Amino acid sequence: MTTGTSDRDAGDESGAPPAPYARLLEEYRRVANVRNASGVLSWDQQVMMPEGGTPARAQQLSTLSSLSHDLLADDAVSDALAELDGAERGSAGGRTGSGTAADLTDAQSAAVREIRRKHERAAAVPTELIEEISTTASEALPAWKEAKAEDDFETFAPYLREHVELKREYAEHVDPDRDPYEVLFEDFEPCLSLDRAEDILTAMRETLVPMIDEIRASETDLATDAFTSLGTYAADEQEALCRDVLSTLGYPWERGRLDTAPHPFSTGTTFDARVTTRFDESDPLGSLLSTVHEFGHATYTLGLPDEHYGTPLGEDRDLSVHESQSRLWENHVGRSAAFWEHFLPTLVEQFPKAADVTPREAYEAANQVYEDNLIRTEADELTYHLHILVRFEIERALIAGDLDVDDVPAVWNDKYEAYLGVRPETDAAGCLQDIHWSHGNFGYFPTYSLGSAMAAQLYHAADADIADLDRDVAAGDFDALHEWLTERVHRHGARYETNDLVEAATGEPFTADAFLEYVTAKYGALYDLDSV
């Protein structure tokens, strides 16, 4: 049985808060609203904006980026934090400090902690640099799209080079005495050290690499072509299927929408969380599982408490936790045998050609371990993490100055051959496949694997708490799982730091153990491995 948290710990704010705390939240809400408005413009640029809109959009996003930065670094925030100094430094079990600090609840102290962290980081970086990073990202996005479409890395290379230089400068302003990549990683995962993250990633790699080798040597035949052998699947019909799966999982359409984008993503707030997907007409599973993945992000965002919108108590904990939600729904639900017992008839209704596919065959097709896949977002559950390793190593080398941008395609291809046994024939299928570097998001990729490990630990705990979760999934009943995740994860916002959140939800510190046990059992059974 896992442990829960009291209402007070979760964010009870009964009674009038101290005046400096109220002022601090007022200032922070302005920051949050500017950033959320920027998010809508960014969504539009990737989904709906006409191609010619880039020059204006670059200026708009740059202005909003500098405005949110200046608001966060403003003296008004600094002054309120100074009055509350020490309020967030006590234990989670009680009030600390004196004067106004003593009047803060645990949840309020956590909000002060989060705002202080962001304020100190913002105050260290010049506004002009923030504007330049934003402008570069806006201009890099269409360049990346063109480069990918034309298989022409040289079109994107100047923007990648500029991003690397700007992010090195950014890291130097934040902390010139530390590894710049470590500083950048903290933008996405501020609560786990890079060393701790690498320990978890290493444990995953040491189990996955020999397991993948054993699977590739296995003589077990899975129904890998259960869907791909049946012809093509029209994009508009796949979109209808993706809408069906979102409805099945419980996506509230009054607070969201589904669109297409070159790279699937989710964005928004607790009132408006949108998802995107893309289609491959040869295989409906790609768009389906991508949609389920983005649903996981959206359901986390939608599960944040409405009443704390615009404050850290109404914001996600950061990307490792966010990725845990997407990977949980994609892998532990969408790739489960129970899910295919329920959802296969819906797929067949949309695509009658699949009428002879059995739930077992659908399950096997969704869980095949590829020998020749080049694309991360289409990767299986195991080799996915080797895709992450390639990106992690390349961007660390770029930021450290150990790799020149011009050499990225060759190094990428060499690493794919070494780690995955395949070599991209084009840069479009190689180093240009992901959107993240066009945004300048160095340090993001490790959170995918960290999120996968966290997802397994959370799902294991949920399965122990919910009477028959497998039966619920097979029946298309996801209410209990939604409630468990909302109660244990979503409703806390950024109240807990990462490890504390996982421990509060599961009763155990965050490790890779549950993930390794899960994949060993699942894929050992699928491929009849001797090691299981």
- pLDDT tens, position by position, 356-406: 999 999 999 999 999 889 999 889 999 999 999 999 999 999 999 999 999
Q: From its phi and psi, is residue 421 left (phi > 0), alpha (psi between -120 and 50) or beta?
A: left
Q: Is 93 or 188 the better-scoring residue by pLDDT?
A: 188
Of the residues 294, 315, 323, 395, which is catalytic? 294
Q: What is the mean pLDDT of residues 45-55?
A: 95
Per-residue model confidence (pLDDT) at position 377 = 87
Radius of gyration of the chain (CA): 23
Measure CA 493 to chain center.
Answer: 15
Helices (H), 175-222: 180-185, 194-217
pTM for this one? 0.92
Q: Does pLDDT of 5 surpass 90?
A: no
Per-residue model confidence (pLDDT) at position 257 = 98
User: In this structure, are strands 272-277 and 258-260 parallel, antiparallel, or unpaired?
Assistant: parallel
**Token pair of 228, please?**
């791909």
Per-residue model confidence (pLDDT) at position 378 = 87
Domains of the chain: 7-178 (no CATH), 194-527 (1.10.1370.30)
Judge whether 27 counts as a catalytic residue: no
The Cα–Cα gap between 15 and 496 comes to 22
The Cα–Cα gap between 175 and 180 comes to 8
Residue 258: helix, strand or coil by DSSP? Answer: strand
Q: Does pLDDT of 124 surpass 60?
A: yes
Among 56, 20, 226, smallest CA distance to 135 is for: 56
Cα pseudo-dihedral 519, 522, 524, 525, rounded to 10: 180
Q: What percent of the chain has pLDDT over 90?
A: 91
CA distances from 389 to 40, 79, 334, 436, 454 (A): 31, 43, 24, 15, 17
The Cα–Cα gap between 134 and 60 comes to 10
Q: Does pLDDT of 2 surpass 90?
A: no
* 343 burial type by CB count under 10 A (0-12 exposed, 13-18 middle, 19+ buried): buried
Instruction: State the pLDDT confidence band at 101, using cuts at 50, 70 and 90.
Output: low
- Residue 259, H or E segment: strand 258-260
**Token pair of 298, please?**
């959206």
Q: Does pLDDT of 91 surpass 90?
A: no
Work out the number of other CB atoms within 10 angstroms of the CB of residue 161.
15
Q: What is the mean pLDDT of residues 293-322?
A: 98
Q: Does pLDDT of 254 surpass 70?
A: yes
The Cα–Cα gap between 329 and 343 comes to 14
